[in-house]
Amino acid sequence: MTGEDLRATAANYLNRIFYKNAYHNILISKINTNPDLTSRDRAYLTETITGVVVLRKKLEWIISAYSTKPIKKLERNILTFLLIGVYNLLEDSYVPEHAAINEVVGAVKIRSSKKTAGFVNGILRTVQRESSNVCFPALKKDPVLSLSVRYSHPEWIVKRWLSRYGIENTEFLCEWNNKKKPVTIRVNKSKKDYKDFISHLKQEKFLLQANDIIPYMFQVNNASLLFDSPWFENGFFSVQSISSALAVLELNPQPGETVIDLCAAPGGKTTFMAELMQGKGTITAIDINKNRLNLLRTNLKRLKFSSVTIKCLDAAKIDHLNADKILVDVPCSGFGTLPQKPDIRWKRNLTDIFDLAKLQYQILTSAAKIVNPNGTILYSTCTIEPEENEQIIEKFLRKNHNFELLPVEILKSDIDVLENRVLTVLPFAHNLDGSFIAKLRKIE
């Protein structure tokens, strides 16, 4: 693929993310599994698309400093090409400056006009010469705008975080969300020879870092090579963040128990529970989305777990099942997963949080009806927004006196666990992606 075609392809994907509600992680997955692309093309597209999505607001600020037209009046496609050019110029050291400019200008010339290409060329060359002179908003004068622009987050969410966490922690959080994170895998300990796989990770230098919380989860590099290996095909590992795994460890499903995973797909937590239960007992995995349930079926087959029954149902309307333990990992705003899903910051708004909170409460109430007496509900999210977390639990306990809040045992030193019995995982406190856990018991 020529340099101009690569830029045009990147622009097409970015336009789909920004204007057609496509999902960054799904498109990147398609790019990395496209046999028609060279490894070099995949690397460029992944880096550029992800980088532009992450730094969109900062890049627009720079463009606006040198554009004779206001950003809002630029044609969408031309703005996207400018975002690509500025990102490649200032943020991607692997792209030579002449290529960052010429390939974008060439792509615009083919797809628009010489006049528009000249306009783009003028802005990019000015950025090349004068980018060090760009003035960003001062932190002391306007912390919301400053953090929003410099770390490329919507102002509304930065304002919320500042009110809760202060400037220092909010800046850490924004910076954390923009950092590239290595892939974390969970080794399938149900495999008799799983230790051979761990030895392979070490010998072939895939292993970057183990962790103190879950010893059989590892950060790895060159993950794409691992995914193409027989180790993956034969079910020796799954991709899962540590924050995600904490909920399963806290629920602690045991062999012989009856467990329901109410919002199961694509199945990271379901498969982890199946592993811990050693094929003994039953797990019912429920989700409303048929396509996502197909991903769960694929994962279960690859990992060779047969103790899971899959049902396509609405988790908010279930009243005919029963279980000893129920995992309620509800749909949420996802603000704890921005390192993996950077486009969420541009897709979500405050109304989404309130709308999701209504659904989350309905699903938790549904779980309350079907958990057995003395049974446990583990409520979890991958967000740090209180309306979806502690406020849901507080409302539930006010209206359901036959339930009690149990203290979360994992990460016991956390101040939330000590004082409030729930756990809010925060990057600046735990060096982990954001999430929330609360454990409820049905009083007999």
What are the catalytic residues? Answer: 382
For residue 431, the one-letter residue type is N
Closest CA to 78 of 91, 89, 63, 97: 63
**Residues recorded for the chain:** 444
Query: Which two three-digit tokens encode residue 39?
Result: 């490894």
Within 13 Å and on the Cβ side, how many CA atoms surround 406? 18
Sign of CA dihedral 122, 127, 133, 137: positive
For residue 444, the one-letter residue type is E
Contact between residue 382 and residue 434 where contact means Cβ atoms under 8 Å apart: yes
Helix, strand, coil % in the chain, rounded to nearest 5: 55, 15, 30
Query: Which two three-digit tokens encode residue 226?
Result: 């691992």
Owner of token pair 């007999």: 444
Q: Can you give the three-state secondary structure of 166-211, one letter per residue? A: HHHHHHHHHHHHHCCCCEEEEECCCCCCHHHHHHHHHHCCCEEEEC
Within 13 Å and on the Cβ side, how many CA atoms surround 108? 27
Query: Which two three-digit tokens encode residue 260?
Result: 């329901």
Could you tell me if residue 147 is left (phi over 0), alpha (psi between -120 and 50 degrees) or otherwise beta? alpha
Phi, psi of 208 (to 5 degrees): -100, -50
Q: CA separation (Å) from 398 to 90, 105, 391, 395, 403?
A: 53, 61, 11, 5, 10
The 8-class DSSP code of residue 162 comes to H
For residue 58, the SS3 value is helix
DSSP-assigned beta bridge partners for residue 185:
218, 239
The 8-class DSSP code of residue 69 comes to S
Q: CA separation (Å) from 113 to 78, 108, 109, 280?
A: 11, 7, 5, 66
DSSP-assigned beta bridge partners for residue 312:
287
Distance CA 310, CA 287 (A): 8
